[in-house]
Structure 1
């Protein structure tokens, strides 16, 4: 091969390589959520959006690709002195997003380092005005203060601080031990207070229960006494009425017995001998009393018996006095063994309806008082004042 031809081939190869290199350098692709800062001859030319981007070969170049999504940066613990001169270690997490890629590239050398340093200084400024207790209980306020300060400071850098979170606030070990003892003491104090309140509530409830029980017991005793008194009154009245009726009926029975006896005597027409015999049969009964030590038969006994016979009888043909019946006036005399009409109801054993009605009413009132003691709130029954019924037998 001739030298001229060889040189020509070399030149053509160099031109092809140059063309290929130029084509490759003139076409680039920007990914989604990224931005490419393009410079032309060392000066800012434009910011390329995601997609296919054309560059002027050997003139334009991509200075930096900037991520546009929200980013998270966790900074190492920073020592911060509180208002009460205690050193605490605080871990922070910053959420930020690049809104202006040009400013993020040209306004600050390293915006991540700048955010870290700015966070440290702002955190010391915010927490330095608080006590340890305030710093531990005011995380939201610290987060809000940091976010505002960082957002204002990083605005010219083309950044937007979304939020700032405190991961941990670690006081010194001695302070942690003191806080643990304090919390333990507070818990024990609250436990003792709750226990005392529980005992107090239990004592109050028990006292109230005893009070209610005493009131109900007294009310029950009152009702029982009232019912017992009413029952005693009713039973006494019924017993007195029964005794009165019994005495009355006994007197009527004795009167009717005497009447029947005399009627039987008249109907039997006794002779003096029979009367004397009956009298002699009665004498031992008269002497059976414990106070009778000696009993003397009167000397005029025969004469008294004779006079009694003369009153009841008339002399017969043999001279003996015999019973002379009273002439029949047409009024009609009952037989000695027959039951008269005026005493027919004496042998009726059925319960008096009025008494049965009164007993049923008393039982109903007693059952109502036992079932609902103090139902009307005043301890009185429907029968009258003080729980004593007003009806009587």
Structure 2
């Protein structure tokens, strides 16, 4: 190999080295810190950059993206002297690559230590129960302290989260017992409340049942009374029609003294059938007594033309209670008037029309006179 070829090869290698030292490519979302003779010179942005070879040197490449760092659990003493372990997660971003490079030697370690001290300061003023229920307050306080402290380092803390707060096992057992007791208390309260509501609803149901029962009994009594009233009215109507029928039959038959005496003789055995009728007296002059009785009974006014109100034997009982009641009252009144006339001793046969001479027939549509 000739000396000229060796020189060419050396020049080519030197040119490649020079080009590689001159051209610098910085990836996206990163920044390059350039030093000249150990002193900061400039910051390279993302893309293709040209530097002076052998003089300028890219010392650091800083990542400008948001970074997530998780720190291991740290022991923290609360206000009530309980040791708990808290692990945190920090979300931060480099905003000034120069400050992050020259203001702090290791900003990740610095953030971790600052997080531990700040967390102990904040949690040390809280009880365990308050710390467990105030994560948002701890996160906001921790973020504010870290952001103000890391601002001069060119770092912005975006978010701080507590991954977990772990009390000692004995405290966990006590908390479980407390929680169990609280749940038992709530269960007992709910059970008592349910029994109270059940008793109230039962009493209300009994009240409504008693009211409905009383109302039903009232309606039943009203209906029973109305049924009894209707039954009595119908019974009275039947009796009135029976009396009216008997009177009509008597008037239609035009009885005389012999018939009345015969009916009297038929009633004598029935009089003797009574339990208390152990002794009864028959007059010796029975014929004379019957004649006297017939003369007395014969004074009953008899209308040869029939009864005043004719009864239709084939007619059915009307359902109209009002009309039947009026007719019944009229028939009963007539029967009472006839009975009073029969019981009046002042009435003589001379005052009544004889059987031989029947009274003139009543005018058409009128009521016959007694």
Q: Distance in 2 between matches of 1:13 and 1:174?
A: 76
Distance in structure 2 (CA, Å) of the matches to 1:20 and 1:357: 139
Give the CA deviation at 1:141: 0.5
Q: Contact 1:34/1:68 (CA < 8 Å) preserved in 2?
A: yes
For 1:186 and 1:117, locate their aligned partners in 2 and report how far apart those are by CA, in whole Å. Answer: 39
Structure 2 gaps, min length 5: 273-278, 292-303, 326-370
Determine whether 1:134 maps to 2:100. no
Q: Which residue of 1 aligns with 2:312?
A: 346
Offset of residue 243 of structure 1: 1.9
Between the aligned partners of 2:286 and 2:77, the Cα distance in structure 1 is 147
1:163 aligns with 2:150: no
How far the C-alpha of 1:115 sits from its partner, in A, is 0.6
1:280 is displaced (CA, Å) by: 12
> What is the rounded CA distance, in whole Å, between the counterparts of 1:10 and 1:198 in structure 2?
103
1:306-327 CA distance string (max 9 Å, x none): xxxxxxxxxxxxxxxxxxxxxx
* 1:21 matches 2:17: yes
SS of 2:320's equivalent in the other structure is helix
Aligned to 2:67: 71
Mapped partners of 1:125, 1:37: distance in 2:
36
1:185-214: CA deviation from partner (whole Å, max 9, x where unpaired): 111111111111111111111111111111
Asked if the contact 1:90/1:168 (under 8 Å) is kept, the reply is: yes
| Corresponding residue to 1:110 among 106, 112, 131 | 106
Counterpart of 2:351 in structure 1 is: none
Aligned position for 1:40: 36
Structure 1: which 5+ residue stretches go unaligned? 263-274, 305-332, 335-339, 360-393
Cα 1:251–1:342, aligned 2, differ >3 Å: closer, same or farther?
closer
Query: 2:81: which partner in 1?
Result: 85
Cα 1:294–1:205 shift into 2, 3 Å? closer
CA distance in 1, matches of 2:266, 2:209: 66
The aligned counterpart of 1:222 is 218
Q: Secondary structure at the match of 2:312?
A: helix
**Could you tell me whether the CA contact under 8 Å between 1:147 and 1:164 is conserved in 2?**
yes
Alignment CA distance shift 1:34-1:351 (3 Å): same
Correspondence list, 1:2-21, <5 A: 6=3, 8-21=4-17
Tell me how far apart the structure 2 counterparts of residues 168 and 346 of structure 1 sit (CA, whole Å).
109
Q: Any conservation in 2 of the 1:122–1:146 contact (CA below 8 Å)?
A: yes
Q: Secondary structure at the match of 1:347?
A: coil
Q: CA–CA distance in 2 between the matches of 1:300 and 1:201?
A: 92
Question: What is the CA–CA distance in structure 1 between the aligned matches of 2:263 and 2:245, rounded to whole Å?
Answer: 26
Q: Deviations over 1:30-75 (max 9, x none)?
A: 1122221222222222222221122211112111111111111100
Q: Deviations along 1:268-295, whole A, 9 cap, x unmatched?
A: xxxxxxx9xx999989857654629997
Q: 1:299 to 1:80 in 2, by over 3 A?
A: closer
Please give the TM-score of this superposition, normalised by the length of structure 2: 0.73
1:179 CA displacement: 0.9
Count of matched residue pairs? 306
Quote the offset at 1:166 in angstroms. 0.5
User: CA offset at residue 297 of structure 1?
Assistant: 9.0
Distance in 2 between the 1:287 and 1:235 partners? Answer: 35
Residue 245 of structure 1: how far off its partner (Å): 3.3
Preserved CA contact (<8 Å) 2:252 2:307: no
- The CA distance in 2 between the partners of 1:290 and 1:358, in whole Å, is 36
Contact 1:37 1:62 in 2 (8 A): yes
Alpha-carbon contact 1:287-1:295 (below 8 Å) kept: no
